[in-house]
Amino acid sequence: MNANSIIQVKDLHKWFGMLHVLRGVSFSVSQKEVLVVIGRSGSGKSTMLRCLNFMEEPSSGTISVESHSVTAAPGLRIDRQQVLAMRLSMGMVFQEFNLFPHMTVLENVIEGLRTVKRIPKEKAIPMGEKYLDKVGLLDKRDVHPIRLSGGQKQRVAIARALAMEPKVMLFDEPTSALDPELIGEVLDVMRKLALEGTTMLVVTHEMGFARDVADRVIYVDHGEIIEEGTPEQIFDHPKYEGTRMFLEPIRRVQEAK
């Protein structure tokens, strides 16, 4: 594993029955890098992300996160201790917010600290408040999720993931469930995290974010990485026809402005 890599994925495959969703995916994420994954719906982007923390068990391939590594293969037993260690290194933000409705915002944020890391409540509370402040929601600490907008709920979900102090943040279409007017507040938090040097792997349809914030962009199609490069290379000078066709509608919208 490259000394500067936090995540390294080699020859990752995922089958759902007869459906071959991931077809030999290999990539790495370096420390403080923002890697953005783009592609059509159903191309395997979210499955790839879910395989990284074994929410979906890979059919085959090797996933390494820092010093921990797990190899999957037919008939091979997965090392659950390594999986647990890898999960603790990664914070995950989903399309849906998955907040506990009966808990306050602060209680949601510190739940993982208390149940997974076994941190006492009196020590967890200031940690939770720190990350709520980071996402601009400290004033909502005692509110229940039902009183929040979708954008606020997603920012709480980001604070919850950050509170675990992971080495890398995974974002799976974090704005796809939001109304258009609420998307900006979530992307602003993600931009701030990127500027602070947070290592991030982001699956998104927000091409403006990908162009502005990514260090590197990967285009996925039919479970394969078709092209990767800097945002300028991918958006302005794509090499492959599939990438060009995917980006063409975006280019037309930009030219019409």
Torsion of CA 234, 253, 208, 92, to 10 degrees: -90
| 33-90 confidence digits (pLDDT tens) | 999 999 999 999 999 999 999 999 999 999 999 999 999 999 999 999 999 999 999 9
Residue 249 has a pLDDT of: 82
Q: State the average pLDDT over residues 216-223.
A: 97
Residue 25 has a pLDDT of: 98
Residue 3 has a pLDDT of: 64
| Residue 4 pLDDT level (bands cut at 50, 70, 90) | confident
Reference 79, options 89, 87, 69; nearest CA is 69
pTM (global) more than 0.85 = yes
- Average confidence score pLDDT of the chain: 94
| 157-206 confidence digits (pLDDT tens) | 999 999 999 999 999 999 998 999 999 999 999 999 999 999 999 999 99
CB of 96 within 8 A of CB of 177? yes
Reference 193, options 254, 235, 136, 120; nearest CA is 136
- Sole residue written with tokens 């020859």: 11
Residue 255 has a pLDDT of: 64
Q: State the average pLDDT over residues 202-224.
A: 96
| 9-36 confidence digits (pLDDT tens) | 999 999 999 999 999 999 999 999 999 9
For residue 26, the one-letter residue type is: S
Q: Give the separation between CA 82 and CA 77, rounded to whole angstroms.
A: 12
Q: Give the separation between CA 49 and CA 56, rounded to whole angstroms.
A: 9
